[in-house]
Structure 1
Amino acid sequence: MIKAGIVGATGYAGEQLVWILHNHAEVSIEFYGSHNYANTKFNEIYNNYLGFIEDKCIDMEEAMNRLHKIDVLFIALPHGKAFDITEKALSLGVKVIDLGADFRIDSKETYEAWYNVKHESASLLEQAVYGLCEINREKIKECSLLANPGCYPTATILGLAPLLKNKLIKLNTIIIDAKSGVSGAGRAANIPTLFTECNESIKAYGVASHRHTPEIEQELSKLAEEELIVSFTPHLVPMNRGILSTCYAQLKKETTTEEVLALYKEFYKEDYFVKITDGLPETRWVRGSNLCHIGVRVDKRTNRIIVVSAIDNLIKGAAGQAVQNMNIMFGFEETKGLEFIAMAP
């Protein structure tokens, strides 16, 4: 049994972490850190825990004081907020899994340019491992500081990885059109995500400027073994959760949909959470699960390939992947606590 602490436990990703870890046979949650809800019972914030969790949330100062009592710290905070507590946790021998962006970008300068925040723990960047489980599993086994991937990057990189590793596409032709449910914007009150502002509408945002762009380019470049840039446009759709990433690229040679599907199935044959579908993914078939569904089509008329990837942004795109990473880091079965499939309808 390992002991976990969570800071940022009352945001959507933090709450999803609580939900998964509460049902994990090898984990006990030692504290629930929250800036806004310190000294409030967790089950008063989320009533679904009524009768199950009686603990009160604690503030960041108290969380810092309790680090010596835990084995792993989950950080679900906005960017720029993870530096101090990460440094202290690591100094105490506590493994850190950061669900935010503070350790995802290899370059301090790139991070500061895109996030407009000074990186105060640049010395830790070299030891941070990018936690896309299906791609970096061996590195994750040995790491103490885990940078949990963003939601858009998770869906997109998993969707494109087989093409890049097999050098099937022209790198300067990648276009990513992605759509997310409203929970991706977080729990804080924000006019653009109010019901009447986003219901019955769809809109692009962060066009040519979204902060997940350098993360996507960084990891795709590693897979391709050369630098590349992408066109990435995210959209907000009026649903609670889910991401659908549709990626386009020019093929280097003629191939068929059937050949590419066979390649994808071989590439992910050992990965429990990635399912290759002969059809096209929908977010409802992965909602509430740690699964990623991927479908492909070859457009012979244009010699382009279209890859469609679907995940739940709060689970495979955040908390579920964080627990999957924890399982790998501590030597548990990778699927432990995550075996649930999507609930329909």
Structure 2
Amino acid sequence: MSTLDGFQAQLRALPKVSLHDHLDGSLRPQTLIDLAAEVGHELPTADPEALQEIFRTNANSGDLVKYLEAFAHTTAVMQSAENLRRVAREYVEDLAADGVVYSEVRWAPEQHLAGGLTLDETVEAVQAGLNDGVEAVEANDGVIAVGQLISAMRQADHAEEIVELALRHRDAGVVGFDIAGPEAGFPPSRFAASFTRLAEQMLPATVHAGEADGLESVRGALVDGRAQRLGHGIRVAEDITLTSGPESRSKIGDGGEDLIEVELGPVATWVRDRQIHLETSPTSNLQTGAVSALTGKTEAELAHHPFDMLYQLGFNVGVNTDNRLVSGVTLTGELAALAEAFDYGLAELADFQINAIEASFLGYEEREVLAAHILEAWQ
């Protein structure tokens, strides 16, 4: 076993937290093949390893259209209660196998109605699968808890209906609300009334922002979306000005120069000072072009990701996978990649777990119990 493999094995055994993981982007390749055969949906291949490689290659192509091709396949097979339940159960089992002890799974029920299900029936089917998965993990002496984040698709304009759906199921597995889909042209201000309704009913929200669009998207998520967390959020770095040179000892940024002075604009200041959690997904942020949009580097690498800069400046950052099938990643692998890119040890990687659990939509007592469990294990 190589040193890297040994480090990943160590990380896999440690308790971790996942706050940004899409259900329809995280199917097992074999499950996708099985379900596609059942419903008569054509896939590029019926070989699970080859299918995974096609998705990974498309994700790494730099072409967002190719990246998104996978979702046409996954949602096509997730149109029945039985299939939703299976996908949700396996989702939990796969996370537990990777050492995740708490997850908030996001998905958009409005994308799963083609088979005749109602919105409520889709949520109930996913919750049944999540419950099945938790029971299976516990039967093997494991520990995991999972909450649903109900997403509304920005381009569909069904936010008011989806908010009411989330509220109806808040005591039956739903822990929060999200908006997903294209950022540009679909700002949170379009759904201001829906976010007000959530605030009135005190159901928390996270908002996809600062991934496919820039700083104004982040501002809109905070102001109009009343976001407690930012989905990705890395383009808040557009509001940070660095002056660098050889004089200082502190290294920060994309490979290189020593920091002399940092100036935070009003949005970045608000995000840092209020400790608004950033749900970063390092590999996905590279694949979707979010890092290139920040750096201007067409061939962006993980070392160009603003993650380390944000962490060193005191931003509240977490680590996520976004879409495990599509990107071909695990949470363990993402942590190991960050450790290699930025020379992190276990102490830093533990910080990201505590950041995430404290920013989760669990209740205070539950967060405290899980945080203590995580700290004890990582120390």
Q: Give the TM bin, normalised by the shorter chain.
A: 0.3 to 0.5
* TM-score of the two chains, using structure 1 as the length reference: 0.33
Give the structure with the higher percent helix: 2
Give the structure with the higher percent strand: 1
* TM-score of the two chains, using structure 2 as the length reference: 0.31
